[in-house]
Amino acid sequence: MVDISVKYLGLELKSPFIAASSGYTYDLEKIVALAKSGVGAVVLKSLFEEQISNEINYLEEVSADYTENQDFLQHYVKEHSLGKYVQLIRDAKREAGIPIIASINCYSLDNWTEFAKEIEKAGADALEVNIYNIPLNGSKCSSEIEAEYYKIVQSITQGIRIPVAVKIADSFTNLGNFVSGLQGHGAKGAVLFNRFYTPDISLKSLKIVPATPFSCKAEYLKELRWIALLSPAMRNFSLSASTGVYDSSSAIKLLLAGADTVQLCSVLYKQGPFVVQDFNRELKEFMKSKGFKKISDFKGMLNYANISNPQAFERVQFLKTAEQYSKEVK
Ligand SMILES: Cc1cc2nc3c(=O)[nH]c(=O)nc-3n(C[C@H](O)[C@H](O)[C@H](O)COP(=O)(O)O)c2cc1C
């Protein structure tokens, strides 16, 4: 018998595979189906900062002729959006029987501390904070931007007891330093990496159009490198891999690199919730074939600290690979 249970953010999960935050996890029926097929936890769709601020702006516009108190309007909208979200947390907790991780997607401090408290009260087991701010101001330096992230993380984590993971992009000047800073400001884990909505250009209409929201298979290699590099350095801090995981092989590789959990999103859209059963079964088969009894027997086995040739993760490897491929050019 092999045991595939893991600890993530201090929570006990029966599988390392987590349903990532998306429209898929905004539907109670799908959340229950995911739980039945053996997912370790579900991250609910994010409550977006824009969802709240857009509603406020709209109501302010339509009520401009009235003498209504603006503070009351703002309060009403926040209660309304948050109320629906809090209900989803309660329903998911009651029906799914697995850890439920709420998610907020924000770019400023605003009222998130207050919302996080409501989310905790509703029974969420943890909170994933997705901070996403495209730096359009070229005169702002990276340390100022990072300080803004830290301020949000600190103010949220200080106000609640449930663990907080921060979902981040891969583009930081020194990712290792930044992730250590997240821990220093109260986060219990990080999700590497967020995959942002990306615009594309239509050559037909000569307009900006949304690119597909779904990832490609090879994208998991990006977090494989960073999890392998960061996992030996982080203590009492969870790392969750996200993006480009379409099969159990890439998920197992991410565990070997040191991920505590692996998040699935595009594969659920394309193959449905029961694909998680395949992931769990194939993980168990892999473990049996290699003689591993529990996940900790091999988690991080191939991280930066544990391999005999750490250069495999470094810049020098690029030179060797480029040389090899240049010989193969037709
Ligand atoms: C349709 C769609 C909606 C998403 N919504 C959210 C969201 O609300 N919050 C969030 O943090 N990530 C969201 N994501 C990003 C996913 O959680 C995930 O990080 C990303 O899709 C990469 O994982 P994948 O390669 O398994 O798809 C969304 C992704 C998709 C495809």
Q: Does 132 or 252 have the greater pLDDT score?
A: 252
- Of 175, 276, 181, the C-alpha closest to 228 is 175
pLDDT class of 312 with cuts at 50, 70, 90:
confident
For 179, the enclosing helix (H) or strand (E) is helix 175-184
Of 62-66, 102-106, 158-162, 218-222, the one with minimum mean pLDDT is: 62-66
CA nearest ligand 1 atom 27, residue:
266
Give the integer Cα–Cα distance in Å for 288 and 258: 19
Atom of ligand 1 lying closest to residue 193 CA: 19
Does residue 259 surpass a pLDDT of 60? yes
pTM greater than 0.85 (yes/no): yes
What is the share, in percent, of the chain residues with pLDDT greater than 90?
A: 72
Instruction: Report which protein residue has its CA nearest ligand 1's atom 29.
Output: 22
Give 67's pLDDT tier (boundaries 50, 70, 90).
very low
Domain ranges of the chain: 6-327
151 in Cβ contact with 108 (< 8 Å): no
- Give the binding-site residues of ligand 1, using a 6 Å CB cut-off: 20-23, 45-46, 103, 105, 130, 167, 194-195, 213-215, 242-245, 264-267
> Which distant-in-sequence residues (6+ apart) come within 8 Å of 59 by Cβ?
73, 76, 77
Q: What's the pLDDT tens digit per position in 166-219?
A: 999 998 999 999 999 999 999 999 999 999 878 999 999 999 999 999 999 999
pLDDT higher than threshold 90 for residue 77: no
Which uninterrupted H or E stretch holds 119? helix 112-121
| Encoded tokens for 249 | 């092989």
Residue range 92-111: mean pLDDT, rounded: 88
Of 27, 131, 195, best ligand 1 pocket probe by most atoms within 8 Å of the beta carbon: 195
Closest atom of ligand 1 relative to the 246 alpha carbon = 26
Q: Regarding predicted confidence, which is higher, 30 or 323?
A: 30
Q: What is the CATH number of domain 6-327?
A: 3.20.20.70
Q: How far is the CA of 270 from the centre of ligand 1 (A)?
A: 13
Q: Determine which residue's CA is closest to atom 6 belonging to ligand 1.
A: 22
